[in-house]
Amino acid sequence: MLPDKLQAKIGMRHFSGSLRKLTVSKGLVDFSSNDYLGLSKLPLPENVGTNGATGSRLISGHSDLHDQVENQIAQFHNAPAALLFNSGYDANIGLIPALTDRADLILFDQLVHASIRDGIQLSQAKSLKYRHNDLNHLEILLAKFSQEEEREVYVITESVFSMDGDIPDLISIIKLVKKYPNAHLILDEAHALGVLGKNGVGLAQQLNVENDIFARVMTFGKGLGCHGAAVLGSEELKDYLINYARSFIYTTALPQHALHSILNGYKTLSYSDDAVLQLASNVSLFNKLVLQNGLRLRFRESETAIQVCIIPKNDQVKKAAQILQENGYDVRAILSPTVAQGEERLRICIHSFNTEIEMGSMLQLLAKTIKTL
């Protein structure tokens, strides 16, 4: 039995309608996964190596293939160096604490992913959030708190925010950070890889500002359709993380088949831009269909694969998702406390393989469903 206080916490989730459960989707039209380009279905080459890496990369887990994959990633992203991590979560909880100590300051967008928040919490640095995409607020914080001696300041934001699908004004953020010699920018590109820029290179390269960013985090579990992540930056940063990033040092390395999946994904993006262009076309079409179905006021503005329909209250948004799923569409509800109360939503992911008929039919059903709630 769980201790009483843990039972009470689970009971509160039941009471609020926010209890999380694992579900398996079979035969539904995919509007929920982060597999934006369908690359998870790429076949692996034969003889992909051993089942396990046998140890951490600093002991027995390193291989020539690790070097090959990191070189491919760095080349694709126009970065001096790349260091593999086992997931985007591992990358953030390794990178952020490794860089900071008690004298330092972290300024982060209030809507950054939980992995970034956990990385911040694991660090010893002082941290302050700035209002979402509010650069005036960020500048106030930089001006007020970045002047202390021996303080390094790290500004952290995302290319595409995972629960809203919106994009920051990255060029303005870079200009602002450059005003302060001790300030450095960390950009999480998890939901931009495979989505933004030519061949899906991400937001920084789309804007040609990759050389102005201290560290970029590329996560492979979304647009690349596989597993793992990499931190991009200077050779010096890579060497530093090998020595100080605990989630890199103290874990078994990615196995050979995972490395082949990553390599396969990057080669596919390098060879052809077709899937990325098709995804962009589908996102544009989806926004037109939202308008045609009278849903514009329900949806947040987004030009990315993540589209958001606001349906306040957990019970209401869960009911809407259930109706869509019962009719063959895999759309998931995002409940409070994952998002703020009153901001409960359907998070609809658009893919390169979704058809106009699928998107139009789903939105027609959604419009009818909302009227009945």
Which pLDDT score, from 0 to 100, does residue 210 have? 98
Which pLDDT score, from 0 to 100, does residue 344 have? 96
Domains in the chain, please, with CATH? 18-40+273-372 (3.90.1150.10), 64-271 (3.40.640.10)
Which pLDDT score, from 0 to 100, does residue 262 have? 96
Which pLDDT score, from 0 to 100, does residue 197 have? 97
Which pLDDT score, from 0 to 100, does residue 15 have? 84
* Mean per-residue pLDDT pooled into runs of 10, the chain (373 residues): 89 85 86 94 75 91 96 98 98 98 97 97 96 98 90 98 97 97 97 98 98 98 96 98 98 94 96 96 98 96 97 96 97 93 96 98 98 91
Which pLDDT score, from 0 to 100, does residue 60 have? 93
Query: What span, in angstroms and rounded, lies between the C-alpha atoms of 216 and 243?
Result: 19
Give the pTM: 0.94
Which pLDDT score, from 0 to 100, does residue 147 have? 84
